[in-house]
């Protein structure tokens, strides 16, 4: 359809294309004004980025409410229900409160780095969200090396945490930042190694292609997601646990262990800078969950062939909701672990299991080449089960009376 001198395609209005509709409209409008081609592209990029940021900021506001509601329900309460219908305006109230609070910069703080800390936390999360394939046709930035980019910008949050802790100029932020760094660096390893197994199997670092490699159904109804393979199961579990630690979620939310180090690197922050830390944390949670969905849960692929008529981005967000809910559920259930337990768990438990998933993936690859699923399962299951058997033995030995630690002074 021609409107003016520029093409307006009716295909843009299909449900599959809805997330891209603002971009198409802006590009069309800018082109309609007769502006040059490069300006049209730039306008399109900004709109595309704005859609991602807008969607995830909205989800952040929603999640801050849903999280409180869910935690409340687990604790047999109602949760916030005063601001608006079912507390729907609670995020607005929180935002106004945060914005109108006094911004205090400590006298001993380095004011520039103190300001940069929270900003640097939010930026990598937004950057990381840019490379995720949300739908069949909705990849904001279809990078060839999307996974590498994701982990590269993800590592920036560690620097931001340290900047925040260092610039605050007091001891609790400093200690908290060091703890946060040691935790995040330790958990980055199992995270990346378990993602490596997926890269080995799909043979690409491009996230859209990884999702496409998980398409199709076994026996016509079982989705061929990476989670439903032996190597994917072990790598997926490791990835999920490392995700929790990377996103600083309970039970690994040591950086903000208020009983030990007040609020960690956020101790000296107030007002909107403090809110920025939360935005960064939640956006990071979204980003890392989105990556987990992309790598192990088939991204935007629908779970059953009969649901293929629904737009693909809807499936992505449905999976995101489920994963986030599991995060909330875990937060509502488990107490915080100790720092030494946390580090031991990463280095002695998660990293070996993650490493073992690499040979498992290799064996699966070659066994699968013979097009025999049963042989592949039999060949790989021992490798998957060995760490769990070892863990079970160790776990029970540790708990046995001979090795149980007795507390002499804590009676």
Partner 1 sequence: MKDAKHQEPAGKAGKWTIPGYGLLQGLFVSGRNMVESYYKKERCPVIQYPEEKADISPNFRNFPFLCYDGDRPETGLRCTACGICEKECPPQCIYIVMDRDENGKAKKRPKVFDIDISVCMNCGICAEVCPFDSIYMDGQYEMATDDRFEKLVLGLDRLAKSTDYHMQLRPKEATAVMEKRKAAEEKKKAAAAARAAKAKAAAEKKAKEAKEQAEKNADDAKGGTE
Q: Which stretch binds partner 1 (CB under 8 A): 75-83, 115-123, 189-197, 209-217?
A: 75-83
Q: Give the residue from 65, 63, 51, 66 showing the smallest Cα distance to 21.
A: 51
Instruction: Compute the distance between CA of residue 27 and CA of residue 142 in angstroms, rounded to an integer.
Output: 19
Instruction: Compute the distance between CA of residue 278 and CA of residue 284 in angstroms, rounded to an integer.
Output: 10
- Among residues 40 and 241, whose Cβ is nearest to partner 1? 241
Site string for partner 1, 80-119 (x = CB under 8 A): -x--------------------------------------
Burial class (CB in 10 A: 0-12, 13-18, 19+), 342: buried
Least distance in angstroms from the C-beta of 83 to partner 1 = 14
Q: Give the residue from 180, 114, 142, 183 showing the smallest Cα distance to 350.
A: 183
Using DSSP, state whether 223 is helix, strand or coil: strand
Q: Which stretch binds partner 1 (CB under 8 A): 29-37, 69-77, 193-201, 292-300?
A: 69-77
User: Which one among 259, 309, 406, 409 touches partner 1, defined by CB under 8 A?
Assistant: 406
User: Cα 345 vs. chain centroid, distance in angstroms?
Assistant: 20
User: Which one among 74, 119, 339, 358 touches partner 1, defined by CB under 8 A?
Assistant: 74
Residue with tokens 């599959």: 16
- Among residues 336 and 365, whose Cβ is nearest to partner 1? 336
Of 335-394, which residues contact partner 1 (CB under 8 A)?
388, 391-392
Burial class (CB in 10 A: 0-12, 13-18, 19+), 308: exposed
Least distance in angstroms from the C-beta of 318 to partner 1 = 19
Least distance in angstroms from the C-beta of 77 to partner 1 = 5
Pairing of strands 2-3, 6-7: antiparallel
> Residue 186: enclosing H or E segment and its boundaries?
helix 171-202
Q: Is 78 in the site for partner 1 (CB under 8 A)?
A: yes
- Among residues 5 and 406, whose Cβ is nearest to partner 1? 406
For 370, which DSSP code? T
Q: Which stretch binds partner 1 (CB under 8 A): 51-59, 260-268, 332-340, 353-361?
A: 332-340
User: Which one among 306, 374, 400, 409 touches partner 1, defined by CB under 8 A?
Assistant: 400
E strands along 32-88, which residues?
none
Cis omega (within 30 of 0) on the bond before 199? Answer: no
- Among residues 79 and 130, whose Cβ is nearest to partner 1? 79
Give me the count of residues in the chain. Answer: 411
Using DSSP, state whether 372 is helix, strand or coil: coil
Least distance in angstroms from the C-beta of 251 to partner 1 = 9
- Among residues 153 and 383, whose Cβ is nearest to partner 1? 383
User: Which residue intervals of 130-170 are DSSP H helices?
Assistant: 146-154, 156-167
Q: Which stretch binds partner 1 (CB under 8 A): 148-156, 283-291, 372-380, 402-410?
A: 402-410
> Residue 309: enclosing H or E segment and its boundaries?
none
Least distance in angstroms from the C-beta of 336 to partner 1 = 14
User: Which one among 11, 306, 404, 409 touches partner 1, defined by CB under 8 A?
Assistant: 404
Q: What does residue 269 show for φ and ψ, rounded to 5 degrees?
A: -105, 150
Which residues here bind partner 1, judged by CB under 8 A? 70, 73-78, 81, 329-330, 332-334, 388, 391-392, 395-396, 399-402, 404, 406, 411
């Amino acid at each position: 359809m021609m409107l003016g001198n520029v093409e307006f395609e009716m295909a843009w209005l299909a449900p599959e294309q809805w997330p891209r509709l603002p971009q198409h409209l802006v590009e069309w409008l800018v082109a309609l004004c007769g502006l040059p081609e490069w300006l049209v592209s730039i306008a399109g990029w900004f709109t595309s980025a704005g859609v991602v940021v807008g969607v995830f900021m909205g989800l952040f506001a929603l999640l801050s409410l849903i999280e409180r509601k869910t935690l409340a329900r687990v604790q047999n309460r109602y949760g916030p229900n005063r601001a608006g219908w079912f507390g729907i305006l609670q995020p607005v109230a929180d935002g106004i409160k945060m914005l109108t609070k006094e911004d205090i910069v400590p006298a001993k703080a380095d004011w520039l780095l103190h300001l940069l800390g929270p900003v640097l936390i939010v930026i990598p999360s937004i950057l990381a969200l840019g490379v995720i394939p949300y739908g069949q046709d909705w990849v904001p930035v279809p990078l060839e090396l999307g996974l590498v980019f994701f982990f590269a910008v993800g590592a920036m949050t560690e620097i931001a945490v340290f900047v925040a802790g260092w610039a605050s100029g007091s001891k609790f932020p400093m200690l908290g930042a060091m703890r946060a760094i040691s935790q995040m660096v330790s958990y980055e390893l199992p995270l990346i190694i378990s993602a490596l197994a997926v890269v080995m199997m799909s043979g690409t670092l491009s996230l859209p292609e990884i999702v496409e490699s998980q398409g199709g159904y076994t026996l016509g109804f079982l989705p061929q997601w990476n989670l439903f393979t032996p190597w994917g199961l072990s790598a997926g579990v490791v990835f999920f646990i490392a995700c929790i630690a990377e996103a600083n979620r309970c039970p690994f939310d040591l950086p903000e262990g208020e009983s030990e180090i007040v609020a960690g690197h956020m101790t000296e922050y107030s007002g909107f800078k403090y809110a920025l830390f939360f935005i960064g944390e939640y956006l990071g949670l979204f980003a890392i969950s989105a990556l987990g969905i992309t790598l192990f849960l088939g991204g935007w692929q629908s779970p059953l062939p009969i649901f293929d008529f629904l737009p693909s981005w809807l499936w992505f967000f449905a999976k995101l909701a489920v994963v986030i809910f599991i995060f909330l559920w875990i937060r509502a259930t488990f107490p915080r672990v100790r720092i030494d337990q946390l580090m031991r768990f990463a280095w002695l438990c998660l990293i070996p299991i993650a490493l073992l998933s690499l040979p498992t993936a290799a064996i699966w690859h070659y066994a699968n080449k013979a097009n025999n699923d049963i042989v592949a399962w039999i060949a790989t299951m021992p490798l998957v089960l060995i760490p769990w058997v070892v863990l079970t033995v160790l776990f029970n030995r540790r708990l046995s009376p001979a090795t149980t630690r007795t507390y002499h002074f804590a009676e």
